Amino acid sequence: MNDCIPHAVAQPSRPGSLKISEIFYSLQGESRSVGQPTVFVRLTGCPLRCAYCDTRYAFHGGEWRDMQDILADVAGYQPRFVTVTGGEPLAQAGCPALLEALCDAGYEVSLETSGALDISALDPRVIRVMDLKTPGSGEASKNRWDNIAYLTTQDQIKFVLCSRSDYEWACEIIQTHRLANRCEVLMSPCFAELDARQLAEWILQDRLPVRFQLQLHKILWGEEQGR
């Protein structure tokens, strides 16, 4: 975790443009659509600094690109699925407009968000994959709990777990907020931090109403950037 990097609240904006770290075509590594060929649009910037972050390169840099240029790039892959990710994509003011434009283009669109920023005004066609930050992330204080009320059955909540204490914390949150009655709940072991088999056994032992998942892209490509 780099404490020297300032935590910007939001990225500066240019009307009709977004700052893009990368656009690439790969297999979805997580969530309900895992394994599906997907175009990823990675926006630059994030107000969080999670201890296990694997996309630190997206904190800075990137290139300002017009909306139509982004849409043309995505269309070139002829995808069915498009995921807008980061960083934290909602840190850019133009992100909701991009999500709406992608939906209008006929794609099945998902948003990967930390849950630290307001999701209430997003296009209802967008599948929101919201990562509730555990204590092991170092950023649990940034969780915006009001967001839970806006989730529907098409959405997903994800917990990345670093330890047994993270697991117990997540179990309490699932029960307190009745998350399994609201949307699909995903649990992942933090890569190289928590043994995947151990997490699977805890889930089975406690009969949790969750989906266990591994990061497919890391199984296939390891820590390769952009996968």
Task: Please give the pLDDT value at position 2.
Answer: 34
17-221 architecture in CATH? Alpha-Beta Barrel (3.20)
pLDDT digits (tens, 9 = 90+) for 55-69: 999 999 999 999 999
Distance CA 33, CA 135 (A): 27
Contacts of 171 (CB under 8 A, 6+ apart): 206, 208
108 near 102, Cβ under 8 Å? no
* % residues pLDDT > 70 (the chain): 91
Give the Cα separation of 159 and 147 in Å (integer): 15
The tens digit of pLDDT for each residue in 128-179 reads 999 999 999 999 999 999 999 999 999 999 999 999 999 999 999 999 999 9
Q: For 105-187, where are the alpha helices, taking DSSP H only?
A: 164-176
Q: What pLDDT, in 10s, does the model give residues 102-121?
A: 999 999 999 999 999 999 99
Instruction: Tell which wins on pLDDT, 8 or 127.
Output: 127
What residues does each domain of the chain span?
Answer: 17-221
